[in-house]
A and B are shown apart, each in its own frame.
Chain A
Amino acid sequence: MKSANGKNGAPPQLEKSPTGIEGLDEVTGGGLPTGRPTIVCGGPGCGKTMLGMEFLVRGATLFDEPGVFMAFEETPEDLTQNVASLGFDLKDLAARKKLFLDYVHIERSEIQETGEYDLEGLFIRLQHAIDSVGAKRVVLDTLEALFSGFSNQGILRAELRRLFRWLKDRNMTTVITAERGDGALTRYGLEEYVSDCVIVLDHRVAGQLSTRRLRIVKYRGSVHGTNEYPFLIDEHGISVLPITSLGLNYHASTQRVSSGIPDIDQLLEGRGYYRGSTILVSGTAGSGKTSIASHFVEAACKRQERCLYLSFEESEAQLARNMRSIGVDLEPWVKKGLLQFHGIRPTEHGLEMHLARLHKMVDRFKPRVVVIDPITNLISGDGDREIQSMLMRLIDFLKANQITAVFTSLTVRGKHAEQSEVGISSLIDTWIVLRELEENEERNRGLYVVKSRGMAHSNQVRQFILTDHGVKLVSSSQSTGGRLTGSAAKKNRPEPAIEQKKRKQKRQGQQRSAVARIRKTAAADQGKPFLTRAAGENR
């Protein structure tokens, strides 16, 4: 065998056909093996047919490679209808000779077997289909239906072996879907014949939330991602999320962005956060996390940067109303298209799915700032280790895109604020803790910067207040008793000069009148000159 690459001395690389499916080409390092069969297996309803169909549709529309879809289970009408929801118009593609749909109907009860036979009819049909559109890609969905149609397993297996060789000889990039079997990859052991590439799809439910996952079990002659990747099927088709493929090689910006609150910027060298860094604002309920996040969003919008705000607790309208009460008006930015809100209940999807969706939103909207409020809602209920790995993926993803991210995190009262963030804290660049300070029968809000990588941040604990012009930090008290807030601060606040003078004058006046009184009585009683006496007593 001679290949074009071989001549140049470079080792011939396995040729790959891009699937056009978002993310899958990344995971497979370029697509499915060209001219070879790939098995896609999984349980019912995990998206095998969708994957096969999208592979063909994208191939026909994006890469000008017509395809043949041979369905053994669904009629062309059903298929056309099913994928119409993804925006695929099979009829149009068929009319334009980009796609050939063939439905193979097998009814065991109609067939009587007498003696020797082969499946030449299937080959002829396939050949006819391939010829009529000049196909480069073939999907067989689900070939296993043959096993229920023919009783002679010996003939069937020999014919399947012949079929795969036949497809390879014709250089067809083929996807064969198969039902997952017990203990084996496929129910009828099809992987025995197709050993070039095996992809397993999975549909798992944990804590009543379902997540689809994809894993490449095998890809002969190619490196590939080995992890399980979450994927979703939505109105744009399948997207696989190779979040783990990101590493720690993102660019670190030296640019600074304002937090939107000048007082907080002051705590961070007066210049705010680093662009592309990850900021955590943690605190108990009602401590002002959302307010601080909203300020940042507003500031970003004012810089004409796009923001994505994921709210897991409040609806867009509610959040907008509430933030108006502290003087942050977000609505104009939404109208301008700079700010996108997404209010989702955390229970709507699993963690993977949320991140997958976020991934998609970021890819589409291309924001420079992402706020997740609060991230703790997202991660409730899952195991700790899973959370950490998912967050790591999320943060890596955001950093790789140079997105400045603000996460708010709800800490449970009573727990130590810095302990409850295990799993998050080490991934965070700038961490602001909001605390409730209870003193003198008052609750006040306190704020401090736990850490901020790459800058000399303030170590002060500052009181902050929510005014109708936004968040303000109260200037820190200089009293010797340490941090004082609220009324305690007021009590110890140094008096303005005028007040002091007034008080002094008052005191002096009181003294004077007292002296006069004493003088009077003393003169009356003893007849002595008052001044000397009073002076002597005072000493």
Chain B
Amino acid sequence: MKRKIPARPGKKSEFFELRLYVAGQTPKSLTALNNLKKICKEHMDEQYRIEVIDLLANPQLARGDQILAIPTLVRNLPTPIRKIIGDLSNTERVLVGLDLGTPDTVAGAL
């Protein structure tokens, strides 16, 4: 993994535990995963772990995390739990959803 200058120095110490729920290899899921990887690389400074959960293989997991929409990204850490649904194509909103910045600062960073 490549090292990168942290975009948000204030959040350096935080570790992100992320889960991406998908249902098979759908185009939407793949888009979401790619988008997520990109955002993490740019904004999380390696302080993250992505777990992809395929609900087709483990359908019972949908119940535990209250998943309805696919794809859903769940931020388990840091607390509180956050949910972001969709293919994560709107980076700005993903960052807001992950508490990585207000829309203004994110816009500035981009």
A110→B80 CA distance, assembly (Å) = 9
Q: Which residues of the other chain, A, contact B60 by a CB distance below 8 angstroms?
A: 128
Asked if B55 and A124 sit within 8 Å, CB to CB, the answer is: yes
Q: Which of A105, A127, A128, A150 contacts B69 (CB 8 A)?
A: A150
Q: Which residues of the other chain, B, contact A329 by a CB distance below 8 angstroms?
A: none
Q: Which residues of the other chain, B, contact A113 by a CB distance below 8 angstroms?
A: 84-86, 93
Asked if A117 and B83 sit within 8 Å, CB to CB, the answer is: no
Asked if B94 and A114 sit within 8 Å, CB to CB, the answer is: yes
Q: Which residues of the other chain, A, contact B32 by a CB distance below 8 angstroms?
A: 115
Q: Which of A102, A114, A116 contacts B63 (CB 8 A)?
A: A102
Asked if A118 and B87 sit within 8 Å, CB to CB, the answer is: no
Contact residues on B (Cβ < 8 Å of other chain), bracket: 20 to 34
A284→B94 CA distance, assembly (Å) = 81
B80 to chain A: closest residue by CB? A110
Contact digits for B66-83, partner A, Cβ 8 Å, 1 yes 0 no? 111111100000000111
Within 8 A of B (CB), among A96-131: 102, 104-106, 110-122, 124-125, 127-128
Q: Which residues of the other chain, A, contact B52 by a CB distance below 8 angstroms?
A: none
A149 to chain B: closest residue by CB? B68
A115→B90 CA distance, assembly (Å) = 6
Asked if A121 and B86 sit within 8 Å, CB to CB, the answer is: no
Asked if A117 and B71 sit within 8 Å, CB to CB, the answer is: yes
Asked if A118 meets B69 with Cβ closer than 8 Å, knowing A110-B82, A112-B84, A112-B93, the reply is yes
Asked if B83 and A111 sit within 8 Å, CB to CB, the answer is: yes
Asked if B66 and A104 sit within 8 Å, CB to CB, the answer is: yes
Q: Which residues of the other chain, B, contact A104 by a CB distance below 8 angstroms?
A: 66, 68
A116→B70 CA distance, assembly (Å) = 9
Asked if B28 and A121 sit within 8 Å, CB to CB, the answer is: no
Q: Which of B28, B66, B96 contacts A117 (CB 8 A)?
A: B28
A127→B62 CA distance, assembly (Å) = 11
A120→B23 CA distance, assembly (Å) = 7
Asked if B82 and A112 sit within 8 Å, CB to CB, the answer is: yes
Asked if B68 and A114 sit within 8 Å, CB to CB, the answer is: no
* In the assembled complex, B101 has its CB within 8 A of some CB on chain A: no
A150→B83 CA distance, assembly (Å) = 12
Q: Which residues of the other chain, A, contact B82 by a CB distance below 8 angstroms?
A: 110, 112
Q: Which residues of the other chain, B, contact A115 by a CB distance below 8 angstroms?
A: 31-32, 86-90
Asked if A114 meets B69 with Cβ closer than 8 Å, knowing A121-B23, A124-B55, the reply is no
> A101 → chain B, closest Cβ, in Å?
11
Asked if A121 meets B68 with Cβ closer than 8 Å, knowing A110-B82, A110-B83, A112-B82, the reply is yes
Q: Which of A106, A112, A116 contacts B68 (CB 8 A)?
A: A106
Asked if A119 and B56 sit within 8 Å, CB to CB, the answer is: no
Q: Which residues of the other chain, A, contact B89 by a CB distance below 8 angstroms?
A: 114-116
B98 to chain A: closest residue by CB? A112
A102→B63 CA distance, assembly (Å) = 8
- List 23 contacting pairs A-B, 8 Å CB cutoff, sorted by A: A112-B93, A112-B94, A112-B97, A113-B85, A113-B93, A114-B88, A114-B90, A114-B93, A115-B89, A116-B89, A117-B28, A117-B71, A117-B87, A118-B70, A120-B55, A120-B70, A121-B72, A124-B23, A124-B59, A128-B59, A128-B60, A128-B63, A146-B68
Nearest 3 Cβ contacts at the A-B interface: A112-B97, A115-B89, A128-B59
Further 4 A-B residue pairs, CB within 8 A, beyond A106-B68, A125-B59, A128-B60: A112-B93, A113-B84, A117-B87, A149-B68
